[in-house]
Amino acid sequence: MARHGLDLPAAGALILYTDGLTEGHNGPGRTRLGVEGLLSLIERLPPTPPATHVDLLIKETHELNAGRHSDDVAVLRLDWGSQPTDR
């Protein structure tokens, strides 16, 4: 079995999510949020503590979707280093 490694910065965060987060609509049109839309949304969110950041991310994606696509959503944010209020 091959092993792969990844160098991580001294401090950071990693967000894992199910496809229900990205398959919803991106506003009133037919366009789906997708990964690029999710990244754009994350960049626009204000700096908040990790739990608040996840809550805001889910809230914003639900608002953009406006109930048109229903799928389960799970989000896990893993933080390391010393950045208690950074996104």
Q: What is the largest CA-CA distance in the chain?
A: 46
- What is residue 84's predicted lDDT score, i.e. its pLDDT? 54
Structure-token match 């398959």, residue found: 23
- What is residue 69's predicted lDDT score, i.e. its pLDDT? 72
The span from the CA of 79 to the CA of 72, in Å, is 23
- What is residue 46's predicted lDDT score, i.e. its pLDDT? 93
- What is residue 83's predicted lDDT score, i.e. its pLDDT? 58
- What is residue 87's predicted lDDT score, i.e. its pLDDT? 47
44 to each of 9, 48, 57, 74, how far by Cα in Å?
22, 12, 10, 20
Tell me the pLDDT of the chain (87 aa) as tens digits: 889 998 999 999 999 999 988 988 888 888 899 999 999 999 999 999 999 999 999 999 989 888 777 788 899 999 999 755 544
85 to each of 45, 48, 76, 80, how far by Cα in Å?
13, 5, 17, 12
